[in-house]
Structure 1
């Protein structure tokens, strides 16, 4: 069956036409990186951290399969943050190597570019599941209480909220996520489904920071999602929860030759509004 063409097409040399050779060089030169930060995010918690422009960041399933809910902002202006829905249109609903995460209006530029993904070969499984999704969003205590009548304070929304408080951000700054290591799709009724996480110890998802970034990640309380969190078969899946490791690397400046940070969108922001003309 023929594939319908994507609505948003890359033009040669345009912002959707990624310089793969550059990112291969940056990511594929082990001697050209220096580890500058490393930590683990425990189960059912969240942490925020900074990734300077031109650095690499790697997320690692250190002990076993685990889903992570990821948020990202411009470190210097948190009004600029991941725009999940536009990224789905410009890239795809499940992202991997060479895809970019784009920022919201009026900024509209790449926040980061994915440089390495050990699950890239997972592809599409028999049920239509794919990995690293932008289809769904974070689990949250509001929906949980609506569905179950119970309060639980360690859903990804709450974990991310606590994580960003030291940076002066609040619950209102937490936004739709990239579900790292999560396998999802749409069923025959066009409904969102989640499957067991296919990651194993040592699998990683790596990206290059196009701007100075503030990142935050929640280790989902659902763990590897092999246990239903809602419905008649639901029970506490704490036994399938694992930490996620974070590594930040400084890149040799010689490997960055020719790269520059992306500019804000060129549009004037006038939106057809006629501004007054003052006369002396």
Structure 2
């Protein structure tokens, strides 16, 4: 058995919240300390881009450097503690049937699409635009964007410092569960990227289930 994989004992019918987010949509989910969030890759190979904030003080937010340094690993996997810019624990991975999730690749943007895929892609949906639209509904702005995680996505870092998207690491029904270690705002952009294999060129839904502790 892969030591990075662990199924959850929680039953779907016991969830206190069950939301399906369509490709290209954003969703802000408040979580209370101790609650458990399950992200489900409904059809497989879907990238879920995420930003995380302290619900009581949004100036405290997910920080990639602190998370990577504390665990000496660039991947989010079973046992990972996701940390804030203050070094505090925000979420802990307590179950995972996928195995590895990315901390290195930034969310797609209009500008990034142009650089990577030509000007024809400038006005395609992007995670950065989705983040901004959703943040504005909570009194936050473009300036409040922070580092993002990419669940169900793996970006390979080679020995020359180059990044490359890996394809096919997830599958239908794969999930990751995270325990909230503080009250958080969990911001999801269900990535609609059509130009690289992170979504198998076919964006699909992500399901969010919340369980009480």
Task: Report the TM-score when normalising by structure 1.
Answer: 0.67
Aligned to 2:211: 249
Aligned to 1:116: 95
Would you say 1:98 and 2:70 are equivalent positions?
no
Choose the corresponding residue for 1:66, options 27, 31, 46.
Answer: 46
Aligned residue pairs, count: 204
Choose the corresponding residue for 1:78, options 38, 58, 65.
Answer: 58
Larger Rg: 1
Aligned to 2:119: 149
The CA deviation string for residues 232-268 of structure 1, in whole angstroms up to 9 with x for no partner, is: xxxxx895111111011112xxxxxxxxxxxxxxxxx
Alpha-carbon distance in 1 for matches of 2:21, 2:43:
12
The CA deviation string for residues 22-56 of structure 1, in whole angstroms up to 9 with x for no partner, is: xx9xx95537x941111111112211111111100
RMSD between aligned residues: 2.3
Would you say 1:132 and 2:101 are equivalent positions?
yes
Counterparts in 2 of 1:197 and 1:224: CA distance versus 1, 3 Å? farther
- With a CA cutoff of 8 Å and minimum separation of 6, indicate the structure with the bigger relative contact order: 2
The gaps in structure 1 that reach 5 residues or longer are 1-23, 121-130, 228-236, 252-280
Aligned to 1:87: 67
Q: Find runs of 4+ consecutive structure 1 residues off by over 6 angstroms.
A: none
Query: Are the equivalent residues in 2 in contact too, given 1:195–1:225 (CA < 8 A)?
Result: no
Alpha-carbon distance in 1 for matches of 2:105, 2:194:
16
Alpha-carbon distance in 2 for matches of 1:223, 1:213:
30
Alpha-carbon distance in 2 for matches of 1:218, 1:30:
25
> Which has the larger share of strand?
2
The gaps in structure 2 that reach 5 residues or longer are 1-5
Q: CA deviation at 1:169?
A: 1.1
Aligned to 2:3: none
Alpha-carbon distance in 1 for matches of 2:59, 2:91:
16
Query: Are the equivalent residues in 2 in contact too, given 1:222–1:238 (CA < 8 A)?
Result: no
Query: Are the equivalent residues in 2 in contact too, given 1:76–1:212 (CA < 8 A)?
Result: yes
Alpha-carbon distance in 2 for matches of 1:114, 1:156:
23
The CA deviation string for residues 123-178 of structure 1, in whole angstroms up to 9 with x for no partner, is: xxxxxxxx301122111112223442342252111111112221111111111111
Alpha-carbon distance in 2 for matches of 1:213, 1:223:
30
Choose the corresponding residue for 1:162, options 105, 117, 133.
Answer: 133
